Amino acid sequence: MTDTGTTPLDFYFDFSSPYGYLLAEKLDAVAACHGRQVNWHPILLGVIFQATGSRPPVDGASAKSQYVFNDFARSARFMGVPYNPPSRFPLPTQNAARAYYWLQDQDVALARRFALAVYRAFFVEDRDISAPEVVLEIAAAQGVDRQALEAALQDGAVKARLKTACEQALAAGVFGSPHVIVDGEHFFGADRLPQIARWLETGGF
């Protein structure tokens, strides 16, 4: 029988997801307070939406889109996370996601630092994280071998790794970002962090 008290949380996110960014800044610390670790899984929302028939929450100048953009900023203020609305949104994130999985195979802590740096580059510094050069610059600033990563981004196995990660996410029931699975329970959205904390504290409710 699995001891859920030590089972890692699974955190699925797209690097272009504002709510994913907010949760990425907080989730590890909440989990650590309860003796848990978090497995991070970058995914591509385009793949997820295509497979599930969903649509992005921001799709033009509708009232819903205006609300969501306002909620991004309000949620960041509420959670105490720096946020500067990017001038280009959303962006393709396959290069950052591929880099993450390549780094994760070598050093999980380094991959985590890289992921946070990518998020901050996009949602605080307004950098174009879709550009391979920007991804390489962010990684190099974290001490990653730039030339090795540049080669890895073109590697078929690395590309396949991300494709597999998206397929596994879909198989697990993931339909958006951020999506967290705790002891088989699914939580969607950064605003579910208090529920995640309560679940970890009590063992479920």
pLDDT tens-digit map of 16-38 = 999 999 999 999 999 999 999 99
pTM of the predicted model, to two decimals?
0.94
Q: By C-alpha distance, which of 35, 21, 202, 53 is closest to 11? A: 21
Q: Calculate ∠ Cα 168-35-181, nearest 5°.
A: 25
Domain boundaries defined on the chain: 9-202
What order of strands is seen across the sheet that includes strand 185-188?
Answer: 38-42, 9-13, 179-182, 185-188
Question: Which residues lie below 8 Å from residue 33, measured CB to CB, with a gap of 6+?
Answer: 197, 200
Q: Which residue is associated with the tokens 């996110």?
A: 13
Strand ranges inside the chain, DSSP E: 9-13, 38-42, 179-182, 185-188
CATH superfamily of 9-202: Glutaredoxin (3.40.30.10)
In the chain, what percentage of residues exceed pLDDT 90?
90
Q: Judge contact between 48 and 174, C-beta under 8 A.
A: yes
Q: What is the 3-state secondary structure of 32-90?
A: HHCCCCEEEEECCHHHHHHHHCCCCCCCCCCHHHHHHHHHHHHHHHHHCCCCCCCCCCC
pLDDT, position 1: 34
| Per-residue pLDDT tens over the stretch 51-103 | 998 877 776 668 988 999 999 999 999 999 999 999 999 999 999 999 999 99
**Strands 179-182 and 9-13, how do they pair?**
antiparallel
Q: Judge contact between 11 and 180, C-beta under 8 A.
A: yes
